Amino acid sequence: MEDFLLRRDDPLESKRLDEFFENFWYPEFSTLRKLYFKTTLGYVKSQGEEDGEEIGIFFTDSGDTDSPREFEVLTKFCRGTFLKNVISGRGTAGSLRVAWMDERTSSPVQETCGPARQHGNPLTATGLFRALTEARFDHDHLPDASRRLIYITDLSPACIQALAATVSSHQAAGLRDAIYKYLEFQTSIAVNITSAGLLTFQLDLHLPFFILSKSPPPKENIGKIKAQPRRRWTDLSFLKLDKLDFVTEESSHDEIWGIQDAQISCAVAGYDDWRWVGYGFVDAEVDGILAESSEMDLLHDPIAAGGLHSNYPIQKPRDYWIKIFEIRIRYVKRNWDYLVHKLEVGVEQYMKENPLIQSRRSQTAQERATRVEEAFDVNSQMIEVLRQIGGVLSDTIKAWESFISSESHIGFFWRTETSSISKHSARSLRAIKIIFQELEGNHDKIKSLKQRCSKFSSTLKLRLILENKTAADQNGMTSEFTVSVLYPPALAAAIFSMQQSAVPFDLTPRALAFALVLLFIIVHGVRFLGRRGLPRWSSLREISAWWIKNKKLDGEGHESLDIELGNIGLSVADVSSDKIVTGDDRNDPRTCGTRAILGPRDDE
């Protein structure tokens, strides 16, 4: 292998190396292999009473202990819930219907999936657990569950407990990763093939996005036990989108515009083209409340947003995953289109309301400065929102670009000889590519809006400085008028309103006129000294400080010279003009030492 890598400069060897790293759908996935299925993972061992112990087993029994991030996130999210409550149906585990299941037979001899197991959809976490504890294959009364679909809305700790306690050991790591990405609002479009042990596959699709709507702000869950994933809600009331809303219907006063984090996660994991499990975790803000679905709605696959009928299932895992991808990315794109459109219109309206040149007739400088400051705050919030949503959309586009790169995951769908995807799936992939090209356009619009707001922010900063200076100048003029014109008469009036006994002179009109003249002279004299004298006083202080500093340095220089001359028995007092070496003193070592330090005389 080392020689193979070293000969990379050879075109033939380079081609062989590229082929070596190419991805393809393994032939084993197109063969019905004999497998031993471990039906449960943590049920027997998870009878402890300590908080979070069951989720800990979800990690240790899977053989992967090097996942502290996932362990911390899942343990924190599931804190306060216990598997025993899920088993017994205690609390919300036995009351909230948040899950949907579809299990059917599938084999190479069947052109489509066979009969399905009957479930009372929608299921509670307890109902989900009980259904998953049934033998998946070779059941006494039920058909095989070769193709299994599990959909959960607002994935709860109780449902995670049910999944963790019943998942096969071969699929535990993949399920844990899917739950982690769903809870943490992460992006992923990838195919994962195990590199050791039993050969399995997992197709991942995690799409975070935002839903723009006008509604009351969500209430924070202040309880210790979490009921649903934590999602961020961002207030957009500062954009005043109500002015752009032409809907005539009256809305509640507590409804405001905001964007809600939303996540769609789908993971398809299995052993071959007939035995696989599809997981779908979707926020209720996306699909609505599952418990409110009608019987007709429950006949359709909720992982596909109702776009596929359960009785007409897609048999192959890659075909199913691609169809889910196409359906869900269309929905995500529509939300991005609406959000970007609203932001464009909102920013345009904001720019019109805050022009770069404002009229100075109807507003004072202070009022203009206040308005500019408010506009700057709104602009800063807008930049932060654009940064937030732009980062999420950028990650989604990068995930797709990585997926379709020549040496990446797309090879699992078209570089195959034994099992190719259907023609419908190929058409779906082309449609997905077009959708992402349109998403790139939305991303460019977001970047353009961000650049525009950033430039506007710089302009607002300059305007704010100028308006504050103008306001300060106006305040200075007002203060000057008050002190120069109004203060002397006010002080004179105060003096002449006093009792005669408290004043050492007669309170006559002549005295009042004299006092006014004197006060005006004093006020203007003080102001003159302040204007003329203070600058000169400052200059005098600087000169004095410079003189003192030089004297101090001069003194330090003499002290240094005394130290050096002390080595030869001289002091500064001994070094005078008549002590410098002359003709008869050249042989005197003392004077030679002095000369060595002071340098030659000017006349030499």
**Helix/strand/coil (H/E/C) assignment for every residue in 337-390:** HHHHHHHHHHHHHHHHHCCCCCCCCCCCHHHHHHHHHHHHHHHHHHHHHHHHHH
Please say if the pLDDT value at position 563 is more than 80.
Answer: no
Q: Is residue 12 part of a domain?
A: no
Among 239-248, 353-362, 380-389, 455-464, the range scoring the smallest mean pLDDT is 353-362
Q: Identity (one letter) of the amino acid at 41?
A: L
Q: Is residue 593 part of a domain?
A: no
Mean pLDDT of 533-545: 68
pLDDT tens digits, one per residue of 103-134: 999 988 887 888 889 999 999 999 999 999 99
Longest CA pairwise span in the chain (Å) = 132
Per-residue pLDDT at 149? 97
Among 114-128, 225-239, 476-490, 516-530, the range scoring the smallest mean pLDDT is 476-490
Please say if the pLDDT value at position 479 is more than 50.
Answer: yes
CA atoms within 13 A on the CB side of 109: 1
C-beta atoms surrounding 154 within 10 Å: 20
The pLDDT > 90 percentage for the chain reads 43
Mean pLDDT of 18-26: 72
Which residue has better confidence, 27 or 39? 27
Per-residue pLDDT at 285? 94
Residues whose CB falls within 8 Å of the CB of residue 193, separated by 6 or more in sequence, listed in order? 26, 199, 200, 201, 412
Per-residue pLDDT at 218? 84
- In this structure, are strands 123-124 and 97-104 parallel, antiparallel, or unpaired? antiparallel
| Cα-Cα-Cα-Cα dihedral sign, residues 88, 89, 93, 99 | positive
| N- to C-terminal Cα separation, the chain | 84
Which residue has better confidence, 597 or 58? 58
Mean pLDDT of 557-572: 49
Please say if the pLDDT value at position 414 is more than 80.
Answer: no
Contact predicate 90/125, CB 8 Å: no
Which residue has better confidence, 149 or 228? 149
Residues whose CB falls within 8 Å of the CB of residue 301, separated by 6 or more in sequence, listed in order? 102, 149, 151, 307, 308, 309, 310, 313
pLDDT tens digits, one per residue of 251-295: 566 789 999 999 999 999 999 999 999 999 999 999 999 999 999
| Separation between Cα atoms, residue 206 and residue 399, nearest integer Å | 10
Peptide bond into 218 cis (omega under 30): no
> By residue range, what is the domain housing residue 104?
52-210+263-315
Q: Is residue 158 part of a domain?
A: yes
| Separation between Cα atoms, residue 73 and residue 154, nearest integer Å | 16
Q: Is residue 180 part of a domain?
A: yes
SS3 541: helix
Q: Is residue 97 part of a domain?
A: yes
| Separation between Cα atoms, residue 230 and residue 227, nearest integer Å | 9
Contact predicate 147/276, CB 8 Å: yes
Per-residue pLDDT at 534? 62
Report the b/e string of 552-572 with b at 16+ CB within 10 A.
Answer: eeeeeeeeebeeebeeeebee
Please say if the pLDDT value at position 65 is more than 90.
Answer: no
Per-residue pLDDT at 455? 86
Per-residue pLDDT at 546? 76
Phi-psi region of 15 (alpha: psi -120 to 50; beta: other; left: phi over 0): alpha
Mean pLDDT of 489-501: 73
Q: Which of 74-88, 181-195, 468-482 has the highest mean pLDDT?
A: 181-195
Mean pLDDT of 528-547: 68
Task: Quote the number of domains for the chain.
Answer: 1
Which helix (H) or strand (E) segment holds residue 538: the answer is helix 534-566
Per-residue pLDDT at 497? 72
| Separation between Cα atoms, residue 584 and residue 564, nearest integer Å | 24
Q: Is residue 303 part of a domain?
A: yes
Per-residue pLDDT at 57? 61
Contact predicate 423/316, CB 8 Å: no
| Separation between Cα atoms, residue 461 and residue 478, nearest integer Å | 26
DSSP-assigned letters across all residues of 233-251:
EEE-GGG-GGGG----S--
pLDDT range class, residue 159, cuts 50, 70, 90: very high
| Separation between Cα atoms, residue 71 and residue 60, nearest integer Å | 10
Per-residue pLDDT at 391? 97
Q: Is residue 93 part of a domain?
A: yes
Q: Is residue 576 part of a domain?
A: no
Among 174-188, 337-351, 558-572, the range scoring the smallest mean pLDDT is 558-572
Please say if the pLDDT value at position 556 is more than 80.
Answer: no
Per-residue pLDDT at 18? 54
Mean pLDDT of 300-318: 94
Mean pLDDT of 187-207: 94
